[in-house]
Amino acid sequence: MTCASCAARIEKKLNRMDGVEATVNYATEKAKVTYAGADVSVEDLIATVEATGYTARPPAPPAAEAAAPPPGNGDREQGAAEDDGLTTLRQRLITAVLLAVPVIAMAMIPALQFDYWQWLSLTLAAPVVTYAAWPFHRAAWTNAKHGAATMDTLISVGTSAAFLWSVWALFFGTAGMVGMTHPFEFTIARSDGAGNIYLEAAAGVTAFILAGRYFEARSKRKAGAALKALMELGAKEVTVLRDGVETTIPTSALQVGDRFLVRPGEKIATDGTVVEGSSAVDASMLTGESVPVEVGAGDTVTGATLNAGGRLVVEATRVGADTQLARMAKLVEDAQNGKASAQRLADRISAVFVPIVIALALATLGYWLGNGAGLTPAFTAAVAVLIIACPCALGLATPTALMVGTGRGAQLGILIKGPEVLETTRRADTIVLDKTGTVTTGRMTLQTTHTTDTTTEADVLRLAGALENASEHPIAQAIATAATDATGPLPTPEDFTNVPGLGVQGIVEGHAVLVGR
């Protein structure tokens, strides 16, 4: 798909099938299809899309993720394939901008219009209209073969008409004469068009539309990267316990019922139930609450949360697409695939925009010919309609904005369940927060130190901080940081012991120290 009109056409064709309800999102290049009964299959849906002039394939099943190559070569190859499209688009954009700028400057600034400047403009504009604009021409031809007109049709017809008219005026009109100038005036004067060239319009429109496509592609890629980053919050490998033997396997190979080991500082591989050990789990990535949750045997834990305390043995209860993290990613993806009311309106307009513009151009041609104005001025007026009607961000702005918004929200820990939710936030005047971590940095700090009459604050901080510095617990790290700031480098404790669920103990500079509950 190359524009919102393409998505509208595919959606219309799919919805014409019996029992099928489809939504096609141009920004994500995905279709969400609901169908009932055995009369329709996935192959039928794909065949309908292909008959419309496009290609489609079903999404990869979750099982394919387990069989996917490990991170490394596979990721690099996929990234290279994705980058190829963006790199080609960037090359076409750079070519268009470098060549279009002097063409526009010569057309708009009379002082730059030296003898035969128009022929230099033709030389510079030709690669822009042919090489740089080739994706538009190719898409327009493909759509024409299926009897359809999209925004690419408008771009291709408009730029081609402007370019071909200029070539005709240069070779067969008076535009190629020595001394020909393009006055830059704010008045409207009628002419037959044979002395005018529109190379700056052809080159300029191509450059501007390519720039829009390039930045849109970058935005889509960044939004997709945000969703990918959400999925990558989970652990990549896990240590499973099988027959008493510890074995390291990819997380994707975990099965329900497997027991796996989670050491202090490691991420929990998947959703499960603690069967052995106790610890504090940092679940802030899910709840926004910065205070760790104490867990023990029988408690449930969620994949991708951080084990901040002791050793845990967990039995997997949900794996793959059933985990809480995968469901969160699915929510974000569904939100990106959905359509807000503003986007549905833009899609409806873009679906009829192109045929209306082409009809207006033909009507203009017929009107001028009917008034006896002659073929040259009539064709000039029709070309002018096509040129000025080249589409802007009508079909691109709304889906891209929704996609970037939901993707960025996922990156920041905000899950947006649908585009209509994002759209209705403009009417919100009150925000209610039920978690303190939502509006804090997520890192705890020491606020106050209370001591007895026989001790000083510096001594207490130094002894407690030295012991807590050896612990991974977030509260311990807050005490250790405050102690370092207040007293300087901390001593190394001896006989350090972590008492699960209670605290830590050890010997610091000859003092027996116990920090905890």
The residues that are catalytic are 434
Six-digit token pair at 472?
């991974």
Which pair of tokens denotes residue 311?
A: 């050793």
Q: Which amino acid is at 391?
A: P
**CA dihedral (227, 229, 230, 236) positive or negative:** positive
Strand partners, 279: 295
Task: Work out whether the CA dihedral 32, 37, 43, 47 comes out positive or negative.
Answer: negative
159: which residues sit within 8 A by CB, 6+ positions away?
A: 129, 133, 136, 201, 202, 205, 206, 387, 390
Q: How would you write 277-341 as a 3-class SS string?
A: CCEEEECHHHHCCCCCEEECCCCEECCCCEECCCCEEEEEEECHHHCHHHHHHHHHHHHHHCCCH
CA angle, 146 as apex, 140 and 152 as ends, to 5°? 20
Residue spans of alpha helices (H) in 60-192: 62-66, 73-108, 117-127, 134-145, 151-171
CA dihedral 100, 104, 110, 114 (to 10 degrees): 20
Please, what's the b/e burial string for 372-398 (b: 16 or more CB within 10 A of its CB; e: otherwise)?
eeeebbbbbbbbbbbbebbbeebbbbb
Residue 271 neighbours by CB under 8 Å, 6+ apart: 300, 301, 302, 303, 316, 317, 318, 319, 322, 323, 324
Please give the Cα distance from 396 to 384 (Å, whole number).
24
CB contact at 8 A, 3 and 152: yes
CB atoms near residue 357 (< 10 Å): 22
The tokens for 218 are 């970058």
